[in-house]
Amino acid sequence: MITLESVPCDLCASSDARPHLCVHDRMYGLPGEFQLVQCQRCGLLYINPRPDAASIGAYYPDMDYHAFQPSDGLKARLVKWLRDGEAKALLAELPSGACALEIGCGTGDLLVALRERGADVMGIEPNDAAASVARTQRGLDVKTGILDAVQLAPAQFDLILMKYALEHVHSPRATLTRIRQLLKPGGRAVFWVPNVASWDARLFGACWRGLDAPRHLYIFTPDTVRQLVEKSGMRLIDVSYSPVPNDWAGSVEFWLRERGLSQRAAELFGVRNPLAMLAWLPISALAAVARAAGRMRVVTVNPHAD
């Protein structure tokens, strides 16, 4: 049974929110219609009412969830190459043997790359099937659960990561505050989130793949991200934008299905088709240069200890 809860704005605690967009699960077609609202005080977008913490797991179909899907062949080699480069960049300014935590680590692709470069790694993943793969197949120290349920000592990590996970939590502000407490002074937190102030979000509206309702409980803009970081006590270092064309191709697929094209035919224009991805790459790369891409990478630092 799904229980819905109504909540105030997580960023500023205001209850003055206006309807913004009616959304539903386009990824898996699970039942339910949800209202994306916008806070009239700070501008944060969030689903309200929303599935509560005990209900939200029903919208994650275990290993069928797209973020947990294994890669093979050429795609697997490409993913490994990208993760290796990512790990190198993340560790570049950190001490040797840095202690790293990834929240929402999935099956552990990025943690493996960090470990191969000498980091001491740990993960937290609420999906038991994905966490089990990380532990049994990759030998990673991954706890099943959410951040608040895992006992961790303060000020123990040099690096904390959330890769497209912050939008899934029930309180981004509380999560970022907890992250700051877990970071050493000068430690960094890096998180990736959808950007609703993007060309693709504006073009596709309710068909934008970055909405991923109701799993994405919050949708951010550069301004609301900045506000969240500041209220958590961290300092914003950088916001950059991803050129990957996934949301362009995926949104086209949703748009075509909305207009009656069969799922099989629409998938020819979606993320499963390398040619469709390649076709959207120039415009997605241009959007990234213009700081108007649908995915943001946010780098923050803990300036002090509690």
Cα separation, 50 vs 165, whole angstroms: 17
Percent of the chain, pLDDT > 70? 94
- Please determine, for residue 80, whether its predicted confidence score (pLDDT) is greater than 80: no
76 in helix, strand or coil?
helix
pLDDT for the residue 225: 97
Question: Is residue 306 one of the residues assigned to a domain?
Answer: no
Kindly provide the residue ranges of all beta strands, DSSP E only, lying in the chain, ordered along the sequence: 4-5, 17-24, 33-39, 45-47, 50-51, 99-103, 120-125, 142-144, 157-163, 183-194, 218-219, 235-241, 295-301
Query: Do the domain assignments include residue 116?
Result: yes
* CATH number for the domain that contains residue 74: 3.40.50.150
Rg of the chain in Å (alpha carbons)? 19
Query: How far is residue 207's CA from residue 58's CA, in Å, rounded to a whole number?
Result: 22
Q: Percent of the chain scored above 90 by pLDDT? A: 81
Return the half-sphere exposure (C-beta side, CA atoms, 13 A cut-off) of residue 88. 6
Tokens of 260: 């009656």
Lowest mean pLDDT among 25-29, 190-194, 227-231, 298-302: 25-29
pLDDT at 67 over 60: no
Which pLDDT value is given to residue 82? 79
Region 196-210: what's the mean pLDDT? Answer: 97
Task: List pLDDT tens digits, range 235-272.
Answer: 999 999 999 999 999 999 999 999 999 999 999 999 98
Please name every residue paired with 123 in a beta bridge, in sequence order, or none if there are none.
102, 142
Residue 73 has pLDDT above 70, yes or no: no
In a domain, 127, yes or no: yes
Domain count, the chain: 1
What does the CA dihedral 110, 112, 114, 115 come to, rounded to 10 degrees? 160
Q: Is residue 78 part of a domain?
A: yes
Domain that holds residue 129: 4-301
> In 155-173, which positions are buried (b, 16+ CB within 10 angstroms) versus exposed (e)?
eebbbbbbbbbbbbbbbbb
Residue where the block lists tokens 């505050």? 177
Look at residue 64 in the predicted model and tell me its pLDDT: 55
pLDDT digits (tens, 9 = 90+) for 153-180: 999 999 999 999 999 999 999 999 999 9
Question: pLDDT by residue (tens digit) across 98-141?
Answer: 999 999 999 999 999 999 999 999 999 988 888 999 999 999 99
Q: What is the 3-state composition of the chain as percent helix, strand, coil, each rounded to the nearest 5?
A: 40, 25, 35
Give the model's pLDDT for residue 128.
Answer: 87
- The strand pair at 120-125 and 183-194 is best described as unpaired
Note the pLDDT of residue 77: 73
